Each structure stands twice: as structure tokens, then as C-alpha cells.
Structure 1
Amino acid sequence: MTKYSIAVDIGASSGRLILGYLEDGLLKLKEIHRFENKIVKKDELFCWEADKLFQEIKNGLHKCMQMGIKPDSIGIDTWAVDFVLLDENDKPLTEAVSYRDPRTDGMMEQVFDHIMKERLYLETGIQFQKFNTIYQLYSIKQNSPEVLEKAKSFLMIPDYFNYLLTGKKVNEYTNATSTQLVNAFTKKWDAQLLDSLGINKEMFHEIKMPKTILSNLSEELIGELGFDMKVILPATHDTGSAVISVPEQDDSIYISSGTWSLIGVENYFPICITKALDYNFTNEGGIDYRYRFLKNIMGLWMIQEVRRNYQDLYSFAELVDMARSAESFKSIVDVNDDRFLKPENMIAEIRNYCQDTNQMLPIAPGEVAKCVFDSLAAIYKVAVAEIEEIFEKKFQKINVIGGGCQNEMLNQLIADVTGKEVNAGPVEATAIGNIAAQLMALGEIGDIKEARSIIKDSFEVKKYVPAQHILN
């Protein structure tokens, strides 16, 4: 009997519920519900609308019933690092504050007053980014210590939604590692690190792995929805789910391309060495205790904001076409500069950077778009070189997965600047990986190797080769 799994995949600008199931040995997908997600300002903080997002999850499940579909399971993935704190009555003490909020400005340096930077990296293996959970929590400790004193539960965004579905409180492994509070070797919350910062370690819950069947729905939700199903932990970190869709290849690097670009390789142990620290690579947890050795790069957020600044006058496809027409424009920006994290106007900030670095200013929309795409390709090239230096080997291919793999211009740029074959796809990598983890938990798929074989057979991948190879 066919098993139906629902992937709830929520990103920075939208969320969706996608139904997945096996048919004739292939994985089939059907979109059930799509909804908007955005950051709003509440009490001078930039926040996610967590309650609204959970209502949208329930709206999607109601649609399933209207379509005559009864899912066997559901799994939720979102972005990383953000969280909700609950009090002794399980009521939220805080809004779900976004990592883009400036409350973490200067917090990283204050944390280093308590913990040596090198020690923090050697124990957690996590890339230094000012918005990591550790710096968010330290900001609360500094500015609202009474909140931490009342906190009895720390739940990351998917953990919180799972709690609302089931009444069960756990912390899922792949997302927990992004906090910079999990020891890379013990795979547990780092009690010494938490003690050093004066953060109550009792509010953190047991860390559970992807493929864990958490529970059935709560009785209250069964009554509301009219059916029951299993709540299964996928890799709740969206990149953790997306990487499940990457083929098993020792000679390839992946780029999970969306609002953020995550470029790296899958590994079986953390690489917490000085060179990895110097290049600011991270060792995030993956399925089956694999590690995602990668660098977090500002991704298509920049072109999303550019489009918004143009008041959505142009589609993404039109911006790509205009960028192709601006072939002579050559200015490059550092996409990882903090000025691009949440500027008031992305176009103005790009021009300011070019002015500050004595480069030609992009004026026309096509020049602005080409500046973004060229800049992304340039930083990918640097990251590829750093990965090859750390691993002391050359990689032959780059797998681009996620929504950004539909940008054919950027795919070709990546091939050209790196000199490597680029395989683009699947587009729905995160939802696919989420569903694959659920189907493994349900016994429909044996292991990740089988899952990747099924995914490879089920979804289209486009190949791009460097321009000089075409000429040859």
C-alpha cells in the first residue's frame, strides 16, 4: 500500500506543503499548498510570524483532506539558527526573532571575552557568523536577562512546530548543530561552553536524529483535522534535507542555491583544523551523523532584494536576460559583506560598495543583476579553491541543487570560472530530501544510498560545461 508523506518546507520568503510518494520505483511530488513568509517588525525587533506559519501548515493539511489525501506522515524543515523560548507553562517568552535582526551586533566579540575563538571552533566546528544562535542567546542574556531566567525550553523553529503538532519537545540534530552550541565530536549540547557563557543548559532538550518517528498528532489536532498521522523528523535544517538529494559522488562539490548559497562537500567526520577556521568553513550535522563541511555564502537574497527594490517590476527571468545583455559590465562586490545582510536598499548598497572600491557603478537593472551574478560566481570560485586546498585534491564536478539551479546564466558562470562540469538539479532538493527521510523512517526506502539512487532516476539534471571545453 502506497505511503504518502508531506514535506513542510519553509524558507525566508515562502513555505509549501509538498506530497511525496513512490510509484513504479520513482519518487513523485505534488504541491498541496503554498504560502508567503516574511520578516515583520515587532517591538523594534525583526521577527518571523510563527503562529501564522503554523496556521498555514494546518491550512495545507486541511487541503489534503479536501483533496481526499490522507498522509501517513509529515516532516518539517526550515532555515537554521532561529528559535523560540518557552516558559514553565510552555508559553512563548519571545517572538521568533530573525537572524537578520541587528541585536547580535558586537555579540560575537563579547563571547570571545569568555571563550577563545579557536576553542569555540575546535569544539563545535561551526562557521563564525554574527547571527548564530550562540550570539542571539548572549544578546538576550545581556539585554533581557530576565527572559533567560524564565526560559524552561529552547526550541528551534521546526522543533517548535513539531511541539505544536505533538506536544513533544526535542531538538533535532542537524539544526541543533547550527547553534554553535553542540560539540562536534560528542554530538551533544556542550555543557562547558554553556556554563562559560552563563546560559542555563537545562532548557535544552534531548537531541534526536533525522528519521526519528517523534509521535502521532496530539489528540487536539486529530480532532481539528479529522485524521491522524506520524510526525517524523527529517533533517529539519533545510540544507541538511537538500544535501540528501545530492548524488553519492566522491569527486563533486555541492552548492545548495537559494536565499543563501551553501557550498561544500559531505564528509564522515568534522574537520576542525586551523585552515578550516581561517577559511571560515562549518561542520554542520547531516543525516546518519554525516557532516556537511561547507561555507555559508550570501546567495540569491541579493537578487531577491534587488527585484523588490524595483517594486517587482521585473521577473527573475527578465533580470537574468537583462544581465546577459550587460556583458561589458564587470564590477564585483563581496557578497558576504555584512552591509548586504539587511540593507534598507540593496541596489543602493551595491552601488555604495562599488563606489567605495573605485569600481564602475551599476546603473541599469541589467548591470545591477550582472553584478550580483558575477559576484556570486567569483566567491564560489574562491570557496572551491579553499575546499580543494583543505582536502588536498581536485574535484571534477559541482552539483547545484535547489531553486537557484534554475538560473542558467549563473550555472554557466560557475562552470566557466571554476573550469568544472556543473550538474543542476533537482530543483525541489529540500522537499525531496525531507520526504526521503520520512520514507526511510517508514521502511519504504532502505537507506540513503537507495534514496539517492531513486532521486537520481526520478528528477531531471541539466549539465553545463566550461566555455573553453565547448570551443574545443
Structure 2
Amino acid sequence: MDKYYLAVDIGASSGRHMLASMVDGKVQLEEVYRFPNGMDNVNGTLCWDVNRLFTEIKNGLKKCKELGKIPVSMGIDTWAVDYVLLDKDDKILGDTVGYRDNRTAGMDDKVYEMIPLEDLYARTGIQKQMFNTIYQLMAVKEQHPEHMEQAEAMLMIPDYFQFLLTGVKKQEYTNATSTQLVNPKTNDWDYELIEMLGYNKRMFQPISLPGTVAGNFTKEIQEEVGFDCKVVLPATHDTGSAVISVPTNDDNAIYISSGTWSLMGIERKEADCSREAMKANFTNEGGYDYRFRFLKNIMGLWMIQSVKKEFEEDLSFGEICSRASKETIESIVDCNDDSFFAPDSMIKAVQDFCVNTKQQVPKSVGEIAAVVYNSLAKCYGDTVKEIEAITGNTYDTIYVVGGGANAGYLNELTARYTGKNVSAGPTEATAIGNIAAQMLHDGVFADLPAIRTCIGESFDIKWYGKE
């Protein structure tokens, strides 16, 4: 009888339930349920509908039951930085605000009144992003101090869902590091920093590593979905799971977790909290087995996803890539510019950037897409140079995992702009990494190198030459 493991992988625009089993020594993956996601505008605030998302999680579990494929374990991963605050009755305090909301405007200055930016980076090693939890919590403290005072627990979004399934509160490590409140030497909350900022210390839960068992379904959940299951914490930060799936054990490799965001970097055994790393805007996010993901956040496919929605024609990404590849426009935009974070019109933002920098303004679908793809690839090339300058190493290959691995035109550009060979795949990297943590817990594989080798043999990998 097949043994199944379930990954519930929820991104900013959709979620899915992916079942995995071992067949002839390879990991076999099957999507059994998919559902939409997105932030809702609630009285001018961008929020997540966590109640609806949890209903969708249960619907996917019911689908497993219908198919007769009952998982032995499951885990949930989502995006990072967002959270819920729970009161003494485990009820959510306030709205579950999404990271693209503007409530954090000016909150960095409030934080720096307590601790300068340079000192904050030296303590945490985390890249400044205005949506980081540290700034979100400052917004709560300033705008809703009663919620900060009443909070008995803070749980990151996937940890909250796993709590609803098991009745057990666990705070997973990789996502905790995204808060900018964890010490990379102790791998625990920096309680001195938390106290310095005036945050409620008691709401921070003990930190658990990926592979930790949260518990089994509560009786209520068992009755509703029709079976029991063990909940095992994956790397609940989706990038943390995706990086587990990088199909190499070569330390001399750079990865890009390519999706809505492009997370580009390397794995390290120790965090680099130097001023040089801070100036280059690199972060040291926690990874599996206390590895560090030394990476840079790049705007990523969010830009092409956004312009696609604005095109009058209903085009596939494949067609958009095809049209872009035929263009000769040489205009380049800075993908990390704030104007591309959440514009009313991404097309206008791209065009305005070109106007302001005195470059040719793209007008057609192909030209707009070509500017976006070439700009992303150039950003990758610049980031490679920064990584090599900081580490003193040179790297032969870039491993692209996640949905962006399907973007053949972008992969060709990446090889050209970086001067590196590009390995593309697996595309379902986050779900595979989620399942990998469960399989490692279950003893299917001895260690991370073993399952990475298996991943490379189980899924299609395409190569693109640098010439």
C-alpha cells in the first residue's frame, strides 16, 4: 500500500494540496486540490481571509479522503512575515493584515528610535523590507496598542493553521527568522530586542525546527475531514521549503527560488551580519537544519504577473515570453525600485520609469514583457557579482527552482546576463521541500543530501548554457 505525504502550499495568489509517495525509488507528486488566494480590501486595509483559507485547507483534506489517499503526515507552508495575534481565548485580535498594506509607512523610523538600522542588522542579519514583521508589530503598537497588550500568542500564518488542525501552538524556525526578531547565533527570539521595542514578550512562542511534530488532528477535525493525520512542521516559510528542493549538494552553487518573488542566494553555515552584506541588502534567513539562506529579495515574477492582468488580450505566459523574445528594445528598469511594489498599474510604472530615465518607452505586449524579463535577468547578473564580491568565491551554476523554472526565455536571459550555466527545475519546489521535511522526519531518507539527490533524479531538470 502506498504511503502518502501531503504538502499544503499556499502562496499569495493560490494554494494547493500536493500528495507525494515513493515509486521505484523516486518521489512522485500529485496535485489533488487547488484554490484561489489574494488580499481583500477591508475598509481600506489589505487583509487575508484566514477563515476562508482554513476552510479550503479542510476541503483539500476531504478530497484526499474521497480519493482514498490518506496521508500519514501533512505540513503547511505559506509566504513569510504575516501573522495573527491571539487573545486568551485564542481569538484573533484585529484584522489579519497582509504584507502589501501601507500601515508600515514610517514604522521604520519608530523602530530606529529604539535601535539604529546598522545595529539591528548586526543583531539579526535580516534584510530591511518595510513589510517585515518587526515593522508590522510597530504599526500594531502605534495604532492598536490594546491588541499588543491583550495578545497571549503570536503565530505566523502557517503556524496558525497548524494550530487550528491540532490545537497545539508551535512556532517554526524558518518563518520566525523572517520577523527580524531572531538572533542568528542563538537561533532563538532576541528577547532583549523585543523588550527594547516595547513588544509583548509573552506572545512569542518557543521556536521549533522543521521536522518537529505539532500533533495529530483534533477530534473535531477528524470528524469533519474523515480521518486522522500527523501534522509535521515543514520549513513553513515557502522559500525555506523551496531551497530544500535545490537538486544539488554542490556548495559552489547559487539558487533562485523563482515565483512571485525571486529569492537569489546561497546556503551558508553561519550568518553574515557584516556592514558589507547590509549595504548590499542581503538577508540571512533561517533554513533547514540551522543552515542560513544568504539571499536577496528581488521583485520577481510579480511584475510579469501584474502586467499580464492588464493586457487586453488573454495571453498565456508562454505566448508572452514568445513575443518578448522577438523584441529588440534595450530599456532596463530597476526591479527593486519601490515603484514596482504595489502600483495601481504595473505597465504605467514600467513606462514611467523608462520616461524618467530617458529610455525607450515600451508600448506593445512584447516590448513591455521584454523590458521586464531583461530587467529581471540583469538584476540576477548584478546580484551574482555582489555574492561573489562578498564571499570571495566564484560560482559555476545557478539553480532555478519554482514556477519560474518554466520560463524558458527568462532562463536563457539569466544565463546570458550572469555568465553562468542555468539549471531549471523542479517547478513544484516548495511543495517538494515541504514533503522532504516530512520524509526526513519519517526516516525515508537519511539526510538532506540524500533527498536532494533523489529530487534531482525524480523531476525534469532543464539546462541552459551561458553562451
Give TM-score scaled by structure 1 length: 0.97
Structure-2 residue corresponding to 1:399? 399
Give the Cα separation in 1 of the matches to 2:253 and 2:72: 35
Structure-1 residue corresponding to 2:290? 289
Per-residue CA deviations over 1:401-444 (Å, capped at 9, x if unaligned) read: 00001001100101011111000011111111110110111122
Give the Cα separation in 2 of the matches to 1:466 and 1:389: 20
- List aligned pairs for 1:34-183, cutoff 5 A: 34-183=34-183
Q: Which amino acid aligns with 2:33?
A: H
Could you tell me how far 1:465 is from its partner in structure 2?
0.6
Q: Which amino acid aligns with 1:233?
A: L
Per-residue CA deviations over 1:322-369 (Å, capped at 9, x if unaligned) read: 10121x201111111111111111101111111111111111011110
CA contact (8 A) 2:169 2:214 kept: no
Structure-2 residue corresponding to 1:432? 432
- List aligned pairs for 1:33-432, cutoff 5 A: 33-246=33-246, 247-310=248-311, 313-326=314-327, 328-432=328-432
Per-residue CA deviations over 1:201-238 (Å, capped at 9, x if unaligned) read: 11010100001111001111011112101000000000
Could you tell me how far 1:94 is from its partner in structure 2?
2.4
Query: Alpha carbon RMSD of aligned pairs, Å?
Result: 1.0
Work out the number of aligned pairs and report it: 466
Give the Cα separation in 2 of the matches to 1:321 and 1:109: 45
Higher mean C-alpha displacement, 130-139 vs 313-322: 313-322
Higher mean C-alpha displacement, 375-384 vs 307-316: 307-316
Give the Cα separation in 2 of the matches to 1:115 and 1:311: 48
SS in 1 for 2:178: helix
Could you tell me how far 1:312 is from its partner in structure 2?
6.2
SS in 1 for 2:456: helix
Percent identical among aligned pairs is: 53
Give the Cα separation in 2 of the matches to 1:382 and 1:98: 30
Q: 1:38 to 1:312 in 2, by over 3 A?
A: farther
SS in 1 for 2:99: coil
CA contact (8 A) 2:256 2:399 kept: yes
Give the Cα separation in 1 of the matches to 2:141 and 2:208: 26
SS in 2 for 1:235: coil
Give the Cα separation in 2 of the matches to 1:2 and 1:363: 53
Could you tell me how far 1:310 is from its partner in structure 2?
1.8
Give the Cα separation in 2 of the matches to 1:211 and 1:67: 26
Could you tell me how far 1:154 is from its partner in structure 2?
0.3
Per-residue CA deviations over 1:10-46 (Å, capped at 9, x if unaligned) read: 1111110000111221100011101111111012110
SS in 1 for 2:380: helix
Give the Cα separation in 2 of the matches to 1:94 and 1:458: 44
SS in 2 for 1:179: coil
Per-residue CA deviations over 1:23-76 (Å, capped at 9, x if unaligned) read: 221100011101111111012110111111111111111111111111111100
Structure 1 spans left out of the alignment, 5+ residues: 468-472
Q: 1:407 to 1:194 in 2, by over 3 A?
A: same
Which aligned segments of 4 or more residues in structure 1 are displaced greater than 3 angstroms?
Answer: none
Give the Cα separation in 1 of the matches to 2:366 and 2:278: 36
Could you tell me how far 1:161 is from its partner in structure 2?
0.3
CA contact (8 A) 2:242 2:401 kept: yes
Per-residue CA deviations over 1:349-403 (Å, capped at 9, x if unaligned) read: 1111111111111110111101110110111111100000111011011000000
Per-residue CA deviations over 1:82-141 (Å, capped at 9, x if unaligned) read: 011111110011222111001111211221111011111111110011110000000111
Q: Which amino acid aligns with 1:332?
A: I
Structure-1 residue corresponding to 2:441? 441
Structure-2 residue corresponding to 1:460? 460
Give the Cα separation in 2 of the matches to 1:287 and 1:111: 29
Give the Cα separation in 2 of the matches to 1:362 and 1:331: 8
Give TM-score scaled by structure 2 length: 0.98
Q: Which amino acid aligns with 2:6?
A: I
Give the Cα separation in 2 of the matches to 1:250 and 1:463: 19
Give the Cα separation in 2 of the matches to 1:204 and 1:17: 29
Give the Cα separation in 1 of the matches to 2:123 and 2:190: 8
Q: Which amino acid aligns with 2:266?
A: V
Higher mean C-alpha displacement, 1-10 vs 309-318: 309-318
Could you tell me how far 1:446 is from its partner in structure 2?
1.5
Give the Cα separation in 2 of the matches to 1:60 and 1:311: 34
Give the Cα separation in 1 of the matches to 2:55 and 2:110: 38
Give the Cα separation in 2 of the matches to 1:7 and 1:68: 17
Q: Which amino acid aligns with 2:388?
A: E
SS in 1 for 2:114: coil
SS in 1 for 2:154: strand
